Each structure stands twice: as C-alpha cells, then as structure tokens.
C-alpha cells in the first residue's frame, strides 16, 4: 500500500448515497494519491485500514481526514484535538437546507469545505469548493446486448420500462410516480414500472398502501417493487430500462439521473437537488416542478409516446455525461483540494 496521505471515513454500515460515493471514488483517487477508507460496510477490494489504525497513524506528517457526515467530522476532531493526530479536516456537504447549530459548529472547525452543488455551498456560511459528482463510465454504460439483457430480466421487446431506484419513501416522490402510472398505464399497454430500493420499517405502511392502490387498479403485473438488490443488478436494471424517473420532493445531490444517462437512458426529474444542472430539459430528459403530479404525468406521457425521441434523448444523455460528468474529473478536483491542504 502507498504512503497514506488521505483517510476517508465511512461510519455507516448500510449502503447509502454517501457510502456509494466513497466506494466509487476511492479506486479512481487511489491512482492519484495515497488514499484509504476506514469504517464498516465497505467492499473488501477497497483500499482500507481499521479505525484503530486510523487513530494511531504516526505523527510524522499531515494527512487529510475527509468527512462526509457529522459523525465523521466529530471523530476527526477527536483524533486531532484529543489524540493529537496530524489530520487536516475536510468536509463535503450535499445538503441543501439550513444546518443545525451542532453541524454549523462542526463545519466551522474544518480546514476546508467541498460542496456538491452551488446551492449546497450557499448553506455552508463559509467559502467552499464546488465539485459536482461524476459517474464511472466503465461501470455505467449501455449494455452490449440490450435485447438479451431485457429478455433475461423478463421484459418483452415491446415493453417501455420506467425505472425509479433508491429507498422507497415519500421523500423520493414514489407516491407521485405511482399516481402518474395509475393515470397513464390504462391507455398505454406497453408501459411498465420497476422500483428498486430498501423499504425501512417506518416506510412499510407507505409502501403497502401504494401496492394496494396498484392492485386495485389491476396493474400489479406491470408495476414491481423489487426491494434492495445487489449493486451489479442495479447496473443491469439501468441498462435495461427505457426511461428513468426521479420525482423527489427534495434531494441533496441526486446521482441516479447521471447513472441512468451514462447507460443511455433519459430522465424525467423534479427541479430539486442538482437535477437542473445534470439534465438538459427537452434534450436529455425533462424537468418538472416538484410535487406536481400533473406535470410529471405529462412529461412521462411525452417520452412514453415517442420511441424515436426517447432513444435520441438517451444517446444525448450518454454524450452529455461523458463530456461533463465523468468520475475522473470529480476525483481530480477533490485530489487538488487534498494537495492544497497538504502543501
């Protein structure tokens, strides 16, 4: 292992958007700088050290502690101020809301800040480097044999499959998408809808109610909740669908439209998070007002009813991501922040 210059903690065992960011960025950054992750729930192939070693690294040089959660900022402070470790403290924020008093205090203790969008930067009350997320084009790309993949997943050649991936909850606008499907599907027999993502105990009733509405409309065979699926299957689902939907009520950044676009799939998304930066309205998908079911329904209908336009938008989406949002650009920009802190 190369000399450790950066430690990226991940203090959450379950898969989350933050964890996914750590997992996809570190292998790319490891080609540029000596970086390791620490914490639970990470794949074994990731450069990694135990938390105990992160707390006892020699004091012979400064290193960067790159936090993305409050708990990780707090641990970085403990390591530096109580255990005397030589860590420069860096925090990345995706939140587009007012921070709590404790979070603001933690942010003030950091040596540098990164924000994942200009809007997120505006809530930090301190200067921050804005670095948009990127996507790994070697992982997310159109399927070599899309027809075979769709057949393997049980889709008919004529099906138009809409996907919505992420935890099933009201924040993601899942109920808005179900309502739009209930309006559209009776007159569009080719349309199907699949959801992937974990249903937590506090969202089970929410999900059960949606499934009951779908069943009452006789659409259970065309609307599926697949639950939490392995990462490789998520990629296969992106490659197999025709249209992605991201009708969230609010979002920190929102990486899913980029992942869909990299697989050649256009997106219909609400104007939240960084979606307005990621999607070219009318060219690589559509943007609609948040919590507006009528606008969501109209935008989905537009793409469902235009096979050629949908395919052209998918090609444009792939080209847009390749030109503007490849993960190597994100990784390089973050490594530049590391080097400035270590200089």
Q: Residue 69 belongs to a domain with what CATH number?
A: 3.40.50.2000
Tokens for 67, please give them: 């936090």
pLDDT of residue 254: 82
**Region of poorest pLDDT, from 12-21, 62-71, 111-120, 169-178:** 12-21
Q: Residue range 312-338: average pLDDT?
A: 96
Say how far apart CA 52 and CA 68 lie, in whole Å.
19
Give 22 or 195, the one with higher predicted confidence: 195
**Do 199 and 227 reside in the same domain of the chain?**
yes
Question: Is pLDDT of 132 > 70?
Answer: yes
pLDDT of residue 273: 81
**Do 119 and 160 reside in the same domain of the chain?**
no
In a domain, 99, yes or no: yes
Say how far apart CA 285 and CA 263 lie, in whole Å.
13
10 — pLDDT class (breaks 50, 70, 90): very high
In a domain, 185, yes or no: yes
In a domain, 141, yes or no: no
In a domain, 77, yes or no: yes
Which domain range does residue 127 map to?
6-134+326-342
Count of CB atoms situated within 10 Å of the CB of 47: 18
**How many domains does the structure of the chain reveal?**
2
Say how far apart CA 171 and CA 26 lie, in whole Å.
28
**Do 253 and 214 reside in the same domain of the chain?**
yes
Taking only the tens place, the pLDDT of each residue in 141-160 is 999 999 999 999 999 999 99
In a domain, 280, yes or no: yes
Question: Is pLDDT of 14 > 80?
Answer: no
Give 252 or 330, the one with higher predicted confidence: 330
Q: Residue range 187-192: average pLDDT?
A: 98
Tokens for 152, please give them: 């393997």
Q: What is the pTM of this model?
A: 0.83
DSSP 183-212: HHGGG-TTEEEEEES---GGGHHHHHHHHH
Question: Is pLDDT of 200 > 70?
Answer: yes
pLDDT of residue 232: 86
Nearest to 66 by CA among 40, 46, 44, 39: 39
In a domain, 140, yes or no: no
Do 255 and 17 contact (CB within 8 A), yes or no? yes
**Do 197 and 168 reside in the same domain of the chain?**
yes
DSSP 33-83: S-EEEESSS--TTS-B--HHHHTS--TTS-EEEEE-SHHHHHHHHIIIIIS
In a domain, 247, yes or no: yes
Angle between helices 327-342 and 17-29 (to 10 degrees): 80
Tokens for 156, please give them: 């008919």
pLDDT of residue 119: 85
Give 23 or 337, the one with higher predicted confidence: 337
Angle between helices 293-304 and 174-184 (to 10 degrees): 60
**Do 117 and 182 reside in the same domain of the chain?**
no
**Do 338 and 317 reside in the same domain of the chain?**
no
**Do 202 and 83 reside in the same domain of the chain?**
no
**Do 12 and 122 reside in the same domain of the chain?**
yes
Which long-range CB contacts under 8 A does 104-108 form with residues at least 24 apart? Answer: 106/70, 106/73, 106/74, 106/77, 107/73
**Do 35 and 72 reside in the same domain of the chain?**
yes
**Do 121 and 154 reside in the same domain of the chain?**
no
**Do 51 and 190 reside in the same domain of the chain?**
no
**Do 151 and 104 reside in the same domain of the chain?**
no
Cite the beta strand spans of 75-217 per DSSP E: 87-93, 112-115, 129-130, 160-165, 191-196
pLDDT of residue 287: 98
Query: pLDDT over 70 for what percent of the chain?
Result: 99
Say how far apart CA 300 and CA 267 lie, in whole Å.
9
pLDDT of residue 1: 59
pLDDT of residue 97: 84
In a domain, 217, yes or no: yes
């Amino acid at each position: 292992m190369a000399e450790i210059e950066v430690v990226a903690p991940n203090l959450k065992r379950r898969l989350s958007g933050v964890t996914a960011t750590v997992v996809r960025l570190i292998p790319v950054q490891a080609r540029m700088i000596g970086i390791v992750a620490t914490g639970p729930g990470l794949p074994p192939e990731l450069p990694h050290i135990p938390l105990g070693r992160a707390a006892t690294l020699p004091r012979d040089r400064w290193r960067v502690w790159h936090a993305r959660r409050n708990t990780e900022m707090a641990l970085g402070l403990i390591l530096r101020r109580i255990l005397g470790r030589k860590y420069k403290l860096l925090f990345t924020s995706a939140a587009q809301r007012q921070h709590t008093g404790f979070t603001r205090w933690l942010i003030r203790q950091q040596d540098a800040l990164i924000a994942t969008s200009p809007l997120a930067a505006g809530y930090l009350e301190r200067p921050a480097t804005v670095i948009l997320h990127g996507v790994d084009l070697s992982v997310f790309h159109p399927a070599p044999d899309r027809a075979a993949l769709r057949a393997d997943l049980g889709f008919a050649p004529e099906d138009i499959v809409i996907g919505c991936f992420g935890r099933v909850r009201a924040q993601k606008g899942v109920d808005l998408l179900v309502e739009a499907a209930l309006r559209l599907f009776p007159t569009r027999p080719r349309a199907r809808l699949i959801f992937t993502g974990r249903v937590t105990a506090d969202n089970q009733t929410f999900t059960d109610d949606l499934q009951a509405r779908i069943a009452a409309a006789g659409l259970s065979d065309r609307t599926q909740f697949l639950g939490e699926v392995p990462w490789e299957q998520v990629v296969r689902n992106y490659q197999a669908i025709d249209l992605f939907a991201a009708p969230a009520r609010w979002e920190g950044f929102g990486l899913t439209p980029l992942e869909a676009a990299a697989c050649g799939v256009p997106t219909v998304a609400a104007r939240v998070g960084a979606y307005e930066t990621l999607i070219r309205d009318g060219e690589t998908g559509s943007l609609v007002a948040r919590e507006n079911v009528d606008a969501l329904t109209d935008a989905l209908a537009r793409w469902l009813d235009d096979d050629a336009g949908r395919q052209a938008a998918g090609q444009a989406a792939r080209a847009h991501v390749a030109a503007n949002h490849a993960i190597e650009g994100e990784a390089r920009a973050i490594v530049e922040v590391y080097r400035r802190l270590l200089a």
